[in-house]
Every structure is written in structure tokens, then in C-alpha cells.
Amino acid sequence: MKMKHSLTILSCLIVFGCANRVSTNTHSWSELKLPGLILELKDPKVEEWYLFSSNGAVAATLGEKEGAICAPLYYWRIKDGFLLITDYDKKLIEKFSLVEIRKNEIVVRRYGGESSSLSVFTTERH
């Protein structure tokens, strides 16, 4: 009986210990200094990019490559470690969790749970 109890405790420690390490985010949005940056989705079919301004506005281009696109003006802020993009009425449009920072690229987890890679440019480059 003691052996079974010990195995149960050991299993819980392993599972919860690993889960905590995986979910820990060591990157912060402040590392990127978003004002003046453009984030562009790396996708062969979907057009999605965001240009961040220092006044909290973000110009977006959304749609399909070789198809229809739109260019709404949204608003951005950082809250509880998430990059929140909202419309004029503060309705949530997108919620990004920063997973990884690479050279000229970031990996984010989106509001729906999927991961995406985005290229990072400065406005001087465009």
C-alpha cells in the first residue's frame, strides 16, 4: 500500500512539475518596444500585419493574399502579460501571448490557442 501511495505522489510531482515548466513564459512584450514595429504573419495564404504606434493605435491589414483585404484601425495595450488588440468599442479582436523571440521573428499563442510565427520589422525598413 505504501508503494502505491508513493508512486501516486511521485506521478503527481512529475506531472505538475513539468506542466509548470512548460507554461512558464520568460519573454515580455516590453522586450520588443512595440511602438514603431510591424508584425507580419508568416503564412503563404493569409495576409495579416500590424503597425503599432506610440499612442495605442495599431493599423492592421487583414485578408487573403491574392484576395480581398481590409485595413481597420485597432487599439493595443499590454495587460497581464498579453498583447490585446481591440476595436473602438474595446471588443477583443486578438490576444497574443509571447512564446518565443527569435532574430526578426516572434512566436505567439493566439486567443484560440494556436501558435503563429510573425516577422518583426521596424518602420524604417518598410
Q: How confident is the model at residue 8 (pLDDT cuts 50, 70, 90)?
A: very low
Which whole number is the average pLDDT over 82-98? 96
Higher pLDDT, 16 or 86: 86
Read out DSSP for 29-45?
GGGT--TTEEEEE--SS
Residue found by looking up cell 514603431 in the block? 36
- pLDDT band with cut points at 50, 70 and 90 for residue 119: very high
Distance CA 85, CA 82 (A): 10
- Are 125 and 113 in contact by the 8 Å Cβ rule? The answer is no
3 pLDDT band, cuts 50/70/90, is: very low
* Domains delineated in the chain: 27-122 (2.40.128.370)
Q: Whole-prediction pTM value?
A: 0.75
How would residue 6 be classed by pLDDT, with cut points 50, 70 and 90? very low
pLDDT (tens digit per residue) in 25-62:
568 898 889 999 999 999 999 999 999 999 999 999 99
Lowest mean pLDDT among 4-13, 22-31, 88-97, 108-117: 4-13
